[in-house]
Chain A
Amino acid sequence: MNVFPPQVWREKETLYRLIGGKCNCGNVIFPYSPVCNKCGSTSVSKIKLSGKGILLQYTVTYQHRPGFEKTQPTYVGLIKLQEGPEIIAPLTDVDEGELKEGDKVEAVIRRIKSDSNNGLIVYGTKFRLIKDGDK
């Protein structure tokens, strides 16, 4: 699969820094959008999300897209972020059978895929379990 650098670079705030939006009404949006998806207001400021959240639900996926063969099977979670939004995101560093609903998770930067021709690598945010003993 081809990787076109501008397409990844322009999403750097979303993919690497977890920048979301906070509306005057209190609604938190991820990814950031200048318009609130709840009340329609344009009074939305950028906030950096903590990346901490709770795993509400998860699945393990055995089908993949081209370029993602190395992360098979893929664990995917429904995560409630500390700041409020619920997102569906890839999980990483998962041992089989260890996920539970209610587990604490945190954001980490991981390799997403690489270009099969020139080796360009796409990085982005995934989530991993915060295990006992971790801070």
Chain B
Amino acid sequence: MQTLVDVKEVYSTEGLSLWYDKKQALKDVNVSIFEKQVTAIIGPSGCGKSTFLKTLNRMVELEPKITIKGRISYRGNNLYDKHYPVEQLRHRVGMVFQKANPFPKSIYNNIAFGPRLRGIKNKQLLNEIVERSLKQAALWDEVRDKLNQDANRLSGGQQQRLCLARCLAVDPDVILMDEPTSALDPIATAKVEELVHQLKQQYSIIIVTHNMEQAKRVSDQTAFFLNGELIEQRKTSELFAKPFHKETADYISGRFG
């Protein structure tokens, strides 16, 4: 049983439902995300994985005509409280997108962007943050000599690690990753996975993936979604070894999706 170990909940959702206009994308979802663990979100295309992820940092509100019901608490506070400071939330909850999206700026300025916003002007301190973040994202050795180069000239895998470094630079608590390796080759993918493994010492990570093997390799917990519903969420090893539900068994054995 999970509760034997003393793990803290970072997120928990209760009866979370979400509609895009009239189309329901999440149905009564109850999930717990634990501190300093990697939670994998799996499920067939269109089942609401990205939508769920975006509710956690309220990025989903950028879409027009959204209706949300239910409750998400992040560290004990209700996220969808009207007065919840969204911008602070997004500092604490970083996001890495499916397609790397570096700013059309230099590598240095990509990383320094967030810290600068938070008022850090000291050159020395910025340098330290940039170096530390790039090291954490295992990119430092590849770019240390070209920090002033346009970030868009990096390779796809490097760009994705740059985006990770950019989000680490604002010192987050949780990192959300939406299929971060789907556009990468196996070597770059392995690098990112290795990183996820290391980063969970410090951060709680939620990763959406289409790749069962990846979920098995990197995650502690796995949540399986189908048609907007959470079918089951358990320890990864248990879920893959003996799923409770037939749908889960079918999906992980590759019978659909």
* Binding partners A and B: no
Give the B-binding residues of A (Cβ under 8 A): none
